[in-house]
Chains A and B, each alone.
Chain A
Protein backbone atom coordinates (compact mmCIF):
# COMPACT_ATOMS: atom_id res chain seq x y z
CA UNK A 1 0.00 0.00 0.00
CA UNK A 2 0.94 3.67 -0.13
CA UNK A 3 1.10 5.80 2.99
CA UNK A 4 0.37 9.44 2.29
CA UNK A 5 0.85 12.35 4.63
CA UNK A 6 -0.27 15.92 4.15
CA UNK A 7 0.77 19.16 5.80
CA UNK A 8 -0.85 21.11 7.26
CA UNK A 9 -3.77 19.00 8.42
CA UNK A 10 -5.85 22.14 8.78
CA UNK A 11 -5.46 25.88 8.58
CA UNK A 12 -7.45 29.07 8.91
CA UNK A 13 -6.38 31.78 6.49
CA UNK A 14 -7.25 35.33 5.67
CA UNK A 15 -8.81 36.38 2.40
CA UNK A 16 -6.27 37.34 -0.24
CA UNK A 17 -3.43 35.21 1.11
CA UNK A 18 -2.02 31.95 -0.28
CA UNK A 19 -1.47 28.55 1.30
CA UNK A 20 0.82 25.77 0.12
CA UNK A 21 -0.20 22.21 0.95
CA UNK A 22 2.40 19.46 0.97
CA UNK A 23 1.87 15.81 0.06
CA UNK A 24 4.46 13.16 0.88
CA UNK A 25 4.26 9.50 -0.18
CA UNK A 26 6.31 6.66 1.28
CA UNK A 27 7.08 5.18 -2.15
CA UNK A 28 7.90 6.45 -5.62
CA UNK A 29 4.84 7.05 -7.78
CA UNK A 30 4.45 8.31 -11.31
CA UNK A 31 1.23 10.26 -10.96
CA UNK A 32 -0.12 12.27 -8.07
CA UNK A 33 -3.58 13.77 -7.99
CA UNK A 34 -5.09 16.70 -6.16
CA UNK A 35 -8.79 16.81 -5.24
CA UNK A 36 -11.06 19.37 -3.64
CA UNK A 37 -14.01 18.52 -1.43
CA UNK A 38 -16.25 21.47 -0.72
CA UNK A 39 -18.40 21.37 2.43
CA UNK A 40 -21.03 18.63 2.21
CA UNK A 41 -19.96 17.73 -1.31
CA UNK A 42 -18.17 14.93 -3.10
CA UNK A 43 -14.59 15.01 -4.37
CA UNK A 44 -13.64 16.89 -7.52
CA UNK A 45 -10.35 16.36 -9.32
CA UNK A 46 -8.29 19.55 -9.59
CA UNK A 47 -5.24 18.33 -11.48
CA UNK A 48 -2.88 15.48 -12.20
CA UNK A 49 0.82 15.99 -11.47
CA UNK A 50 3.53 13.98 -13.18
CA UNK A 51 7.14 14.32 -12.15
CA UNK A 52 9.13 16.36 -14.62
CA UNK A 53 6.20 17.87 -16.50
CA UNK A 54 3.53 20.50 -16.07
CA UNK A 55 0.42 19.49 -14.20
CA UNK A 56 -2.73 18.79 -16.16
CA UNK A 57 -5.73 20.75 -14.89
CA UNK A 58 -9.38 19.77 -15.07
CA UNK A 59 -12.06 22.03 -16.46
CA UNK A 60 -12.76 24.89 -14.07
CA UNK A 61 -9.31 24.87 -12.46
CA UNK A 62 -6.38 27.01 -13.63
CA UNK A 63 -2.69 27.07 -12.88
CA UNK A 64 -2.67 30.67 -11.68
CA UNK A 65 -5.15 29.80 -8.92
CA UNK A 66 -3.81 26.34 -8.05
CA UNK A 67 -0.11 26.10 -8.95
CA UNK A 68 1.35 22.65 -8.41
CA UNK A 69 4.90 21.47 -8.01
CA UNK A 70 6.20 17.92 -8.45
CA UNK A 71 9.93 18.02 -7.77
CA UNK A 72 10.40 14.26 -7.33
CA UNK A 73 8.58 10.94 -7.30
CA UNK A 74 7.48 11.10 -3.65
CA UNK A 75 6.44 14.71 -3.14
CA UNK A 76 4.06 17.36 -4.47
CA UNK A 77 2.67 20.69 -3.39
CA UNK A 78 -0.59 22.44 -4.19
CA UNK A 79 -0.88 26.18 -3.61
CA UNK A 80 -4.25 27.84 -3.20
CA UNK A 81 -3.62 31.42 -4.31
CA UNK A 82 -5.39 34.67 -3.49
CA UNK A 83 -7.88 32.84 -1.34
CA UNK A 84 -11.51 33.74 -0.86
CA UNK A 85 -14.11 32.14 1.46
CA UNK A 86 -15.28 30.04 -1.51
CA UNK A 87 -11.95 28.19 -1.34
CA UNK A 88 -12.86 26.78 2.06
CA UNK A 89 -12.67 23.05 1.43
CA UNK A 90 -10.78 19.88 2.18
CA UNK A 91 -7.90 19.38 -0.24
CA UNK A 92 -6.77 15.80 -0.76
CA UNK A 93 -3.74 14.25 -2.37
CA UNK A 94 -4.01 10.86 -4.08
CA UNK A 95 -1.59 8.40 -5.66
CA UNK A 96 -1.85 5.18 -7.59
CA UNK A 97 -0.44 2.00 -6.03
CA UNK A 98 -1.32 -1.70 -6.22
CA UNK A 99 -3.62 -0.86 -9.16
CA UNK A 100 -5.83 1.42 -7.14
CA UNK A 101 -5.89 4.99 -5.84
CA UNK A 102 -4.88 5.81 -2.28
CA UNK A 103 -5.88 9.04 -0.60
CA UNK A 104 -4.16 11.19 1.95
CA UNK A 105 -5.90 12.39 5.11
CA UNK A 106 -6.70 15.78 3.60
CA UNK A 107 -6.04 19.40 4.51
CA UNK A 108 -9.02 21.25 5.90
CA UNK A 109 -8.84 24.89 4.82
CA UNK A 110 -11.03 27.66 6.18
CA UNK A 111 -10.79 31.10 4.60
CA UNK A 112 -12.16 34.04 6.55
Chain B
Protein backbone atom coordinates (compact mmCIF):
# COMPACT_ATOMS: atom_id res chain seq x y z
CA UNK B 1 0.00 0.00 0.00
CA UNK B 2 2.85 2.32 -0.90
CA UNK B 3 1.58 5.83 -1.41
CA UNK B 4 4.45 7.11 -3.52
CA UNK B 5 5.66 6.50 -7.06
CA UNK B 6 9.22 7.23 -8.13
CA UNK B 7 11.27 6.48 -11.24
CA UNK B 8 13.43 3.42 -10.52
CA UNK B 9 16.67 5.07 -11.59
CA UNK B 10 18.25 8.35 -12.65
CA UNK B 11 21.67 9.59 -13.67
CA UNK B 12 23.18 12.96 -12.89
CA UNK B 13 26.48 14.58 -13.81
CA UNK B 14 28.75 15.53 -10.94
CA UNK B 15 28.36 19.20 -10.02
CA UNK B 16 24.94 19.50 -11.61
CA UNK B 17 21.61 19.66 -9.83
CA UNK B 18 19.81 16.38 -9.30
CA UNK B 19 16.02 16.66 -9.45
CA UNK B 20 14.23 13.60 -8.12
CA UNK B 21 10.46 13.49 -8.73
CA UNK B 22 7.82 11.76 -6.64
CA UNK B 23 4.09 11.28 -7.12
CA UNK B 24 1.84 10.97 -4.07
CA UNK B 25 -1.58 11.62 -5.53
CA UNK B 26 -3.48 9.96 -2.67
CA UNK B 27 -1.84 11.96 0.09
CA UNK B 28 -4.16 13.31 2.78
CA UNK B 29 -4.17 16.87 3.99
CA UNK B 30 -2.25 16.27 7.20
CA UNK B 31 0.29 13.74 5.91
CA UNK B 32 3.90 14.80 5.59
CA UNK B 33 6.30 13.95 2.77
CA UNK B 34 9.73 12.75 3.89
CA UNK B 35 12.84 12.06 1.88
CA UNK B 36 15.54 9.63 2.99
CA UNK B 37 18.46 8.10 1.21
CA UNK B 38 20.20 4.81 1.68
CA UNK B 39 23.77 4.22 0.74
CA UNK B 40 24.59 0.59 0.21
CA UNK B 41 24.40 -1.52 3.37
CA UNK B 42 23.65 1.42 5.66
CA UNK B 43 20.49 2.55 7.44
CA UNK B 44 18.39 5.24 5.74
CA UNK B 45 19.58 8.79 6.29
CA UNK B 46 17.16 11.68 6.73
CA UNK B 47 17.29 14.41 4.09
CA UNK B 48 14.28 16.67 4.44
CA UNK B 49 10.53 16.71 5.01
CA UNK B 50 7.57 19.01 4.44
CA UNK B 51 3.82 19.37 4.54
CA UNK B 52 2.84 21.93 1.95
CA UNK B 53 5.46 24.67 1.86
CA UNK B 54 8.76 24.37 0.06
CA UNK B 55 11.61 23.52 2.38
CA UNK B 56 15.37 23.94 2.21
CA UNK B 57 18.18 22.78 4.43
CA UNK B 58 21.91 22.26 4.14
CA UNK B 59 21.45 19.07 2.15
CA UNK B 60 18.62 19.71 -0.26
CA UNK B 61 15.46 21.54 -1.25
CA UNK B 62 11.97 20.08 -1.33
CA UNK B 63 9.43 21.50 -3.74
CA UNK B 64 5.82 20.42 -3.14
CA UNK B 65 3.16 21.25 -5.71
CA UNK B 66 0.23 23.35 -4.61
CA UNK B 67 -2.18 20.41 -4.84
CA UNK B 68 0.35 18.31 -2.87
CA UNK B 69 0.07 15.43 -5.31
CA UNK B 70 3.73 15.48 -6.20
CA UNK B 71 7.06 16.77 -5.02
CA UNK B 72 10.65 17.12 -6.18
CA UNK B 73 13.82 16.69 -4.19
CA UNK B 74 16.65 18.87 -5.42
CA UNK B 75 20.30 18.22 -4.65
CA UNK B 76 21.81 21.50 -5.87
CA UNK B 77 25.34 20.31 -6.65
CA UNK B 78 25.50 16.54 -6.80
CA UNK B 79 28.72 14.79 -5.84
CA UNK B 80 29.82 11.20 -6.30
CA UNK B 81 28.99 10.61 -2.63
CA UNK B 82 25.34 11.39 -3.38
CA UNK B 83 25.04 8.12 -5.28
CA UNK B 84 22.37 6.25 -3.32
CA UNK B 85 18.78 5.04 -3.30
CA UNK B 86 16.43 7.94 -2.55
CA UNK B 87 13.10 7.23 -0.91
CA UNK B 88 10.11 9.52 -1.06
CA UNK B 89 7.88 8.59 1.86
CA UNK B 90 4.44 9.61 3.01
CA UNK B 91 3.90 9.59 6.72
CA UNK B 92 0.46 8.05 7.17
CA UNK B 93 -1.64 9.53 9.93
CA UNK B 94 -1.39 12.88 11.59
CA UNK B 95 1.66 14.93 12.34
CA UNK B 96 4.83 13.27 13.53
CA UNK B 97 3.40 10.06 14.95
CA UNK B 98 2.24 8.22 11.87
CA UNK B 99 3.82 5.30 10.09
CA UNK B 100 6.30 5.68 7.29
CA UNK B 101 5.17 3.99 4.10
CA UNK B 102 8.20 3.49 1.88
CA UNK B 103 7.94 3.35 -1.90
CA UNK B 104 10.44 1.54 -4.07
CA UNK B 105 12.85 4.45 -4.31
CA UNK B 106 15.00 5.96 -7.04
CA UNK B 107 18.57 4.80 -7.52
CA UNK B 108 20.56 7.95 -8.29
CA UNK B 109 23.88 7.44 -10.02
CA UNK B 110 26.12 10.50 -10.00
CA UNK B 111 28.69 10.27 -12.76
CA UNK B 112 31.98 12.14 -13.09
Contact = CB atoms under 8 A, between A and B. Distances in A.
Contacts of A101: 34, 46, 100
**In which size bucket is the chain B interface?**
20 to 34
Interface stretch (A12-20, A37-45, A64-72, A73-81): A37-45
A103 B39 CA distance: 13
A103 B105 contact: no
A43 B44 contact: yes
Interface residues of A, number: 20
Interface in B79-96: 87, 96
A100 B96 contact: yes
Contacts of B112: none
B99 interface: yes
Interface of B: 2, 34, 36, 41-46, 49, 87, 96-97, 99-105
Interface of A: 4, 31, 41-45, 48, 92, 94, 96, 99-106, 108
